[in-house]
Structure 1
Amino acid sequence: MTEDDARVFKALADSSRRFLLDLLFVRDGRTLTELESELEMTRFGVMKHLKVLEEAGLVVPRKSGREKLHFLNPVPIRLIHDRWIDKYTLQQVSALADLKAELERPMTTTRTVQVNRVYIKASAQTIWDAITKPEWTVKYGYQAPVEYDMRVGGAYRGLASEAMKEQGAPDVIIDGEVLEADPPHKLVQTWRMTYTGEPATTLTYELDEKEGGICCLTVTHDVTDAPQTAAQTGGMLEGHGGGWAEMLSDLKSLLETGKSMYA
């Protein structure tokens, strides 16, 4: 078992920490004060539990003005699931599988910002290329090519794979516009699924190189403005934000082992 796996299992072993994750699943982006009000323990006790969750990568803190908000990160659950699910029977890992499914459920209108974070043993430039170049994106996730005009105002297009086209998908399944580009550190863009009628949302990639050849990739999907037009989309808004944990897990697998999980 890796050190990362051990930290996740340790974090999930405590019922109070699992309750904190449940609270963030119901409504993400809470302050310490908000979380403290839901638990019968001291502020210091809640801070200690949040620290364990942060060290395991299950909670990601983000600054918003003077406040520090806490967001649920389902990626470590996905990585644990992908690593261990094949080694044991479904019954033995049913609790983990259920938790993975719950955390990865598509975002509802009560979760307007979804933060996913993963640590990958690769350079920021390599990860940037894997996100933005079609020769990479066809190797993981939905295995679909992308096109970027990497300048402010430039177009983004996510193209359908051959398998998607055979199932009736349009040639362009996702489109958007580049809002900010700082290769290989930060990319901000709009993101809209073309065939659902959903409104455009904002997607941010942030890459932070660490010691030892490790890079921290944080993907933030902000649908704050989307609920304003939810009535116009026939309730399709709940599709926003789903799939990032699986996508990032597969990206990590590809860059660290040379193989997609589904190869």
Structure 2
Amino acid sequence: MKDDDLAFRALADPTRRFLLDLLFARDGRTLGELESEVEMTRFGVAKHLRVLEEAGLVVARRSGREKLHFLNPVPIRLIHDRWIGKYTERPAAALADLKRELETDMTTTETSTGAGRTVHVYRVYIKATPQSIWDAITKPEWAVKYGYQAPVEYDLRPGGAFRGLASDAMKEHGAADVVIDGEVIEADPPRRLVQTWRALFLDEPATRLTYEIEDDEQGISRLTVTHDVTGAPQTAAQTNGELPGAGGGWSQTLSDLKTLLETGEALYA
């Protein structure tokens, strides 16, 4: 079954859509917390969560003895780019914005995992080798081809510097040469990269960013991005694609990365 089919099947059920809404409102919940919000047995909720996990819409991570469930918006972004962006993005976006304004207050929601932490988890499956994905993340000649189309510089050693440079388009709008900085904490090519990540245009502390790349025998790699944005609410909103005019955040970037590596062309080339 194709990725789109799995996502559409998962989204077709109102209970599963409600579970996604619950995770959007407060991410990183246990099965027990979700069960308390739904008129259904624990087994029934667990079954729905498995369907959402199979579709990639939910990512489960262990935190001590607890199993936490996170909303993964990347498959929804891919559906948007495949079925909306190509055909009717402008009118559909305008109608969607109008509907949201009429029905809801415009507020920013944090992703809480308890103990005062805020963590976003994104996952995407890519038909590419781990090395190709690693290169696309860490090499400037690849970084300019997708996402915000801006080069990056890495010193891939513990304590090494990371810099996210402004694209020409960003500079036209007054951006400085360096817009993001950080420090490499752990680098295990092409499997795992842990670093700090600080947006210099926001008056907030550095956050912690982790890339994990796994592959299988069929040539499919799984890229998981975990962004701990604790204490940095503006960074959380920006990287989650919630700030108007600031792009689609990690969801859009990872969707674009997948498309580039699988087709040779970026979504917004």
- TM-score, length-scaled by structure 1: 0.88
Structure-1 residue corresponding to 2:134 = 128
Structure-1 residue corresponding to 2:60 = 61
CA RMSD of superposed structures (Å)? 2.5
Structure-2 residue corresponding to 1:50 = 49
Count of aligned pairs between the two proteins:
250
Structure-2 residue corresponding to 1:168 = 174
Structure 2: where are the runs of 5+ without partners?
Answer: 101-105, 113-117, 242-248
Identity of aligned residues (%): 71
Contact 1:106 1:239 in 2 (8 A): no
What displacement does 1:90 show?
A: 5.5
Distance in 1 between residues matched to 2:200 and 2:264, nearest whole Å: 31
Residues 149-180 of structure 1, C-alpha deviations (whole Å, 9 max, x = no match):
10111110000011111110000000001111
Contact 2:60 2:70 in 1 (8 A): yes
Structure-2 residue corresponding to 1:140 = 146
Contact 2:6 2:54 in 1 (8 A): yes
Distance in 2 between residues matched to 1:143 and 1:238, nearest whole Å: 20
Structure 1: where are the runs of 5+ without partners?
Answer: none
Structure-1 residue corresponding to 2:246 = none
Distance in 1 between residues matched to 2:195 and 2:176, nearest whole Å: 21
Note if 1:76 corresponds to 2:75: yes
Residues 10-53 of structure 1, C-alpha deviations (whole Å, 9 max, x = no match):
10111100010011001110000100011111000001100000
SS in 2 for 1:77: helix
Distance in 2 between residues matched to 1:13 and 1:30, nearest whole Å: 22
Which amino acid in structure 1 is aligned with residue 27 of structure 2? D
Contact 1:155 1:178 in 2 (8 A): yes
Structure-1 residue corresponding to 2:244 = none
1:25–1:147 Cα change, 3 Å:
same
Contact 1:106 1:238 in 2 (8 A): no
Structure-1 residue corresponding to 2:36 = 37
Contact 1:207 1:217 in 2 (8 A): yes
Contact 1:30 1:69 in 2 (8 A): yes
SS in 2 for 1:136: helix
Structure-1 residue corresponding to 2:268 = 262
What displacement does 1:93 show?
A: 6.3
1:87–1:141 Cα change, 3 Å:
closer
SS in 2 for 1:45: helix
1:107–1:200 Cα change, 3 Å:
farther
1:190–1:210 Cα change, 3 Å:
same
What displacement does 1:198 show?
A: 1.7
Distance in 2 between residues matched to 1:143 and 1:87, nearest whole Å: 20
Residues 33-79 of structure 1, C-alpha deviations (whole Å, 9 max, x = no match):
10001111100000110000000000000011111100000000001
What displacement does 1:211 show?
A: 2.2
Q: Identify which of 211, 223, 239 aligns with 1:205.
A: 211
Contact 1:20 1:35 in 2 (8 A): yes
What displacement does 1:97 show?
A: 6.3
